[in-house]
């Protein structure tokens, strides 16, 4: 029975974690974000959703090789690990992108937490991040696709503004 339980745990880990970085993956995100929004609804506390894209990653890969790119992704996950609070969820979104769920976090706190990540980026690299802060009223339904689209739009604004920064979607016009 122990062997079967170990096998099940191993399969579950493979299904919910990125094999390169060891971080939770997008599947884990999709399973946990609805619960975070429900908790925000119950508590009345804001929840921040951020998308983070490593700057000039393709150029890094082209210059140093794909193994160096993989090493950079692993180093980023390692550098950010100590900054992740127990309530946070950091996932490898795909490629050189990460998603970050920050419960009970307002705009200023989110900006500060993203700045801390920027300061510990390995190999003199940087990232661009977009985030939005959601305030859920009880009995509201959150359009998670719209939340992610806002964070994505803000991330592209950060790139447009010169990279190596975080932009809050709430500050974007329109």
Q: Is 96 among the catalytic positions?
A: yes
**Residues near 92 by beta carbon (within 8 Å), at least 6 away in sequence:** 18, 20, 21, 23, 24, 25, 26, 73, 77, 98
Rounded Cα–Cα distance for residues 166 and 26 (Å) = 21
Q: Choosing from 6, 31, 74, 96, which is the catalytic residue? A: 96
Rounded Cα–Cα distance for residues 38 and 139 (Å) = 9
Tell me, what DSSP letter sits at residue 81? G
Catalytic annotation, residues:
96
């Amino acid at each position: 029975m122990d062997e079967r339980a170990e096998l099940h745990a191993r399969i579950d880990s493979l299904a919910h974690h990125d094999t390169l970085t060891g971080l939770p993956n997008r599947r884990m995100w999709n399973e946990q974000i609805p619960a975070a929004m429900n908790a925000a609804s119950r508590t009345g506390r804001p929840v921040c959703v951020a998308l983070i894209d490593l700057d000039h990653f393709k150029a890094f890969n082209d210059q140093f090789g794909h193994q160096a790119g993989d090493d950079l992704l692993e180093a980023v996950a390692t550098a950010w690990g100590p900054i992740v609070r127990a309530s946070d969820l950091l996932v490898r979104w795909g490629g050189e992108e990460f998603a970050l769920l920050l419960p009970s976090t307002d705009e200023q706190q989110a900006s500060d937490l993203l700045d801390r990540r920027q300061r510990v980026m390995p190999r003199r690299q940087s990232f661009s991040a977009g985030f939005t802060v959601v305030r859920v009223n009880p009995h509201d339904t959150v359009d998670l696709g719209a939340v992610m689209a806002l964070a994505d739009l803000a991330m592209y604004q950060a790139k447009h503004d010169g990279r190596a920064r975080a932009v809050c979607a709430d500050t974007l016009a329109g």
